[in-house]
Amino acid sequence: MSYAGKKRKLDKTRQDTLYFDSYSDVTIHEEMIADNVRTNTYRTAIFRNSDSIRGKVVLDVGAGTGVLSIFCAQAGAKKVYAVEACSIAEQAMEIVKQNNVEDIVEVIRGTVETVELPEKVEVIVSEWMGYALLHESMLNSVLYARDRWLKAGGLILPSRAELYITPISDPVVEDRLYFWYTVKEQYGVDMSCMSDFARRCIKNSDITVSTVAVEDVLSHPARFAELDLHSVTAEELRTVKGRFRCESFGSAAVNAFCVYFTVTFPCSDKPQSLVLSTSPFKPETHWKQAVLYLDFPVEVVQDTLVSGEVSMFPSEDSSRHICIHVDYTVGEKKIQSKTFSIPDWTSDSQP
């Protein structure tokens, strides 16, 4: 897909409108509900916390179709406020009625920053995670809800998020670049000069959302950031950063970094917490992984050190879009830097 044209910064109202409109279509909700890892982990976490939910008041931030709200009702909640800003709230009301929990679940159309609840809540549940965890910046709304509506000592599901990075070798990209050297043999036309152009197009500054194969991972992942949802502030989310240090498994060419996240749910009835992971080593989710392609591959051998710092911050064009800046060193080579962002076609297409 091509993203031509000059981007222009959108005002926050326009950003929010585009964001909420994207959730008004059935496709995105089908994708989320069909993600068994996502949906079943939330369901399990809610039922494992039934002792903390039973007889309590719950706030579901960004309720979507209302599935998490219904899980909470099934777990014994006294009242659930399902706050949803986009038009899918109308379908959520129908789903709530179809499941006979309309006396418990109240769907409220609006943003959590603007709605008024009649009471404080003991539990907040939200599926707020975007690509690379922070894309779409819905976590800010969860923090607002926490500060405005959650009683002291209340439960937040999930309660913690962690970000990881690892170097990878993506052979498909290198095959695509080499393709231009094979055209002459196939068709008698030398197109090897296309290789540099292809490199600029493929190994650009986009955050590529794709599935990373386990065999392409070149080291143990390094955690570079952790967010405690009980204490993190919106100001701290303006820049989430941390250092990383990885040692390569063997000989290969590093041509990208993979960034992924986990979120953790406390479980009152179990000694261990429940973790929803988007790791390449775990079953695939609709979040997949965020892949950051380097301009040129770098050869590594067993135990070559790959280290650096990752910074994540909102795009200047749209505060809901995330940018990732990586300063990195491979072995004895000098430090390199590159900034990545998720393409935003909306800012190009608006008058």
**Strand locations in the chain (E):** 57-61, 79-84, 105-109, 121-125, 150-157, 160-168, 208-210, 222-228, 240-247, 252-265, 274-277, 289-300, 305-314, 322-330, 336-341
| Among candidate residues 258, 257, 246, the one with its CA nearest the CA of residue 304 | 246
Compute the distance between CA of residue 328 and CA of residue 102 in angstroms, rounded to an integer. 53
Residue count of the chain = 351
Catalytic one of 84, 106, 113, 136 = 136
Do 11 and 346 contact (CB within 8 A), yes or no? no
| Residue tagged active-site, from 94, 116, 127, 332 | 127
314, 341 Cβ separation under 8 angstroms: no
Beta bridge pairs of residue 84? 109
122 is catalytic: no
Interhelix angle 67-74/88-98, rounded to 10 degrees, is 30
Closest listed residue to residue 308, CA positions, set 292, 290, 319: 292
206 class by beta-carbon count within 10 Å (0-12 exposed, 13-18 middle, 19+ buried): middle
Phi and psi of 340, rounded to 5°? Answer: -125, 155
Q: Are strands 222-228 and 160-168 parallel, antiparallel or unpaired?
A: antiparallel
* Residue 215 annotated as catalytic: no
Is 209:255 a contact under the CB 8 Å cutoff?
no
**Whose CA is closest to 87, among 3, 159, 153, 24?**
24
Which amino acid, one-letter code, is at 165? I
Report the C-alpha gap between 331 and 339 in whole angstroms: 21
Active site amino acids: 127, 136
